[in-house]
Amino acid sequence: MKVAAIYDIHGNLPALEAVLAVIRRLRVELVIVGGDVLPGPMPRETLDLLRELDLPKQFIRGNGDREVLTRMQGMENSDLPESVRAAIHWNAEQLQQEDADFIATWPLTFRLEVEGLGAVLFCHATPRNDTEIFTRLTTEDWLGPVFAEAEASLVVCGHTHMQFDRMIGKTRVMNAGSVGMPFGQPGADWLLLESTAQLRHTGYDLKAAAARIRATAYPQAEEFVAGHVIRPPSEAEMLERFAAMELG
């Protein structure tokens, strides 16, 4: 079975379209949408495309999806920065009750047997919650207890928007990266699983994508284009930033 894991789309519809085109060419049989479809500049269009995708698919919920859903339910997380709350508010205003009902059905994790890889656990951040931060540099001493209980040969995660492939104890852990807001090289990052697991990168027309995003009413469209499409932060910069935030 060919399985594609696409994470952290964040409403970047042009990036998603490019990845789905490759997924179709490769004849992928199952798409795992690993959370944080939202928030972003094209939430309505992104959700519609995924919902109508004519391939078998499984969603899991990320912290961004959860925060948008919470806002649609009349609450909000006051601990988030004002800029993040503004993006969440705008995304919530673009969606309808049927969207909230749809997002509310997404589980936090999903398990799948993949021939050649064994038991695979898909989660958004870590197997125990959707916000914990760790990177390819985080010490195994901190991570061992988190992944020891996963009971999987491979754990696939996202959340930090940087791809990696590492062992934590006896568990292989892969970060699929981000389709819509990658840190490092511009483009779209994702993961392909069949008899092996392959980190993938898909390029797309960044100028055309920037024009489409700028044409939306998203209040942070220009910042999104500049900082996540045209010139994302470097991996080194984000590793340094996340070091102060990682679990431990």
pLDDT at 247 over 70: no
**pLDDT, averaged across the chain:** 96
Task: Give the mean model confidence (pLDDT) for residues 96-103.
Answer: 97
Task: Give the mean model confidence (pLDDT) for residues 124-142.
Answer: 94
Q: What is the pLDDT of residues 175-231, one digit of tens each?
A: 999 999 999 999 999 999 999 999 999 999 999 999 999 999 999 999 999 999 999
pTM of the model: 0.96
Task: Give the mean model confidence (pLDDT) for residues 108-131.
Answer: 96
The domains found in the chain, sorted by start residue, are 3-243 (3.60.21.10)
What per-residue confidence (pLDDT) applies to 225?
98
Contact 53, 115 (CB under 8 A): no
Distance CA 176, CA 106 (A): 19
The two structure tokens encoding residue 130:
């959707």
Nearest to 225 by CA among 43, 14, 64, 83: 14
pLDDT at 104 over 70: yes
